[in-house]
Chain A
Amino acid sequence: MGAQCHDHTVHLAEIPAKRFFSDGKFNCEAGAQVAGYYNLDSIAAGFDAYNIEIEALGGKMVYGENSMPTIDFRDPLVKGPEDLARLRKKHVDWHNDGRFPFVLQMDEENLNYGMGTSMFCSPFSMACGMRSYPKLIRDMRKDPKFAHELFEFIVDDVLIPWVTVQKEVTGNINAIGADAWACIPNLSIEEMNQWVVPYNKRLADMAIKKGVLVMNVSGDYNEERMERYSKDILHKSFDVLIASQGGIPSIFMAMGRTQDYPLQDVKEYTDKLKSQGKAPMVTMGVNARLVRDGPVEQIVDFVKRVIDTFARDTTLSMFIGNIPADAPSDHIHAAVAAAHTYGKYPIANDLDTIEFEMPHRESFKEWQAEHGLTLE
């Protein structure tokens, strides 16, 4: 069980957000301590991966006292073709501009925790960040020439240099692209196939020549209304994801109401991949709002169902996506404990025979004290 928990780490550890999101060593140390406290299987506090490149290019950001930095959509970096023309000529120091040093420092620190993957903002999400989502959608429909120019710039002139520098500094040959904007229902499958997949492929094809294997986490199925749930769209979103990962058959369900979606529909897709001779992997997200709201029983039940559905015959990992700042620690402990209880290999034939014991844990501060740890 892994987690993305930058907001939660800041809140739990009571540390200044600005420092957390600008000091790579501090970010990693805080993330490692929170991961240790929760018995997570990997360090993953994370950072605002959607903002780094845009900020370095001169994009305006909003820094809240207790919140993650965010792009100031009131004043987009690219208001029109003239801004794109200006950016093409801009000299960028890929080591030192904006918070590039923060990310490079984090990349290096993460190696000490066994994490050797760089991160970047995927082309579609970066285009949203540069233009704002409404203006980008308008560009795609009404000024596709400009939209294509923007995407090409993002891939060729921003992402290729950035993933290359991350590799040069750390040796990381893997880079993962965050692409939350490119999800269902923000886009239709047709729009993803027209605008998301081609530029993800362009990025992958160019990056491999630099020795970097990129995978974009695009096409996430994030339908909120169950009356809109569609197995057909779900499967097509997986097609988008796999195409955005250079064909690697890895399913990642990050943000959606996975506890309500029929898991058998996901299994039907992975079984299809197996019938094609592929070895699918599933990373199943535990919905952030479920983790916050609970109840514990529902969280535990979901983790158990996922393991029961996939773990015997599919490479499975689980992931708590973007743990809310004030999510109760007990809920997170429950999710991790459920994964570790039901997920012991070999997976039992009948998980109902396994007794789940809810861990009763000390507070994070108490845990830190017990281990002689601080965050300064």
Chain B
Amino acid sequence: MSENAILADLKKAVLEGDDNLAQQLSQKALDQGIEPMTIVKEGIVPGIQEAGELWKKNEYFHSDIILCAEAFRLAMEIVEPKMAAGERGASGKVIIGTVAGDVHNLGKMMVIATLRGAGFEVTDLGVDVPQDTFVQKIQEMSPDIIGLGCYMTSTMVEMGDIIKRLESEGLRDRVKVLIGGVPTTQEFANEIGADAWGKDAFDAIEKARALMGV
């Protein structure tokens, strides 16, 4: 199979959320000697980028995006270990987690996929993440951006507390804070002193890029 054909099929598999096929084609591409960065840039990422375009046109819904995100994740799992260190995360480094008391994951999954598709190196801290973990990971990993997610109005208040904690730990100036989640708004982000608010997974890309000055 030609390189172009594999990459086209891989893009289609990601776009259509066929996670098994996306994994298989990623491995096949590596086996055929295609450069990992090429597989990512011309196969995997275009799949999720086109999903974003279909989303904006109202042709894709969350059900489509979540499957794309999963296919993207599994494809990247195959390829990313083969990438050179300098090839990963050229856009910036992000750590992301759902705040303490909240175990919702859906939005975060989609944001991780879209940010990685946009060239960010993203570390997922999981759900129900205590403040201590955010602090520790910022100290360890020196990310450019910390992403905070929540789903419930009762847990969104934690985001403001995290920002205050970063201030008290002397970390606030070291990192940009990007928040998102169903109950959040730009007004809320302004209120708690976050640097940006992502309306959805695709808006998160724009906001993260803006935070990085690109």
Contact = CB atoms under 8 A, between A and B. Distances in A.
Interface of A: 7-8, 10-11, 17, 62, 64-68, 70-74, 132-134, 137-138, 140-141, 184-188, 191, 224-225, 227-228, 230, 233, 288-289, 292-293, 322-327
Interface stretch (B2-10, B40-48, B61-69): B61-69
Interface in B79-134: 101-106, 109, 127-128
A233 B101 contact: no
A227 B70 contact: no
B154 A185 contact: no
B136 to A, nearest CB: 20
Nearest to A191: B63
Contacts of B157: 325-326
Contact of B154 (A7, A134, A138): A7
A327 B191 CA distance: 13
Contacts of B188: 289, 292-293
Given A64-B154, A67-B155, A225-B200, A186 B63 contact: yes
Nearest to B20: A142
Given A137-B66, A137-B67, A230 B155 contact: no
A185 B61 contact: yes
Contacts of A293: 185, 187-188
B128 A62 contact: yes
Q: Give the bracket for the number of chain B residues in contact with chain A.
A: 35 or more
B67 A230 contact: no
Contact of B152 (A65, A68, A185): A68
A288 B153 contact: yes
B155 A233 contact: no
B199 interface: yes
B183 interface: yes
A70 B185 contact: no
Contact of B67 (A7, A70, A141, A227): A141
Contacts of B127: 73-74
A184 B56 CA distance: 14
Contact of B103 (A70, A134, A141, A325): A70
A279 to B, nearest CB: 32
B110 to A, nearest CB: 9
Contact of A67 (B19, B55, B101): B101
Contact of B183 (A71, A72, A230, A288): A288
Given A67-B101, A293-B187, A188 B63 contact: yes
Nearest to A230: B58
Nearest to A188: B61
A187 B106 CA distance: 14
B102 A70 contact: yes
Contact of B106 (A62, A134, A188, A228): A134
26 contacts: A7-B153, A7-B154, A62-B101, A67-B152, A68-B152, A70-B151, A70-B152, A133-B66, A134-B66, A134-B70, A137-B63, A137-B66, A140-B63, A188-B61, A188-B63, A191-B63, A288-B153, A289-B187, A292-B153, A292-B185, A293-B188, A322-B153, A324-B153, A324-B156, A325-B153, A326-B153
B75 to A, nearest CB: 16
A354 B111 CA distance: 47
Nearest to A195: B63
B70 A138 contact: yes
Given A134-B109, A225-B199, A324-B183, A64 B62 contact: no
Contact of A62 (B61, B103, B200): B103
B56 A68 contact: no
Nearest to B191: A293
Nearest to B153: A324
A5 B151 CA distance: 16
A67 B58 contact: no
Nearest to A190: B61
Contact of B63 (A68, A187, A233, A288): A187
Nearest to B151: A70
A230 B183 CA distance: 22
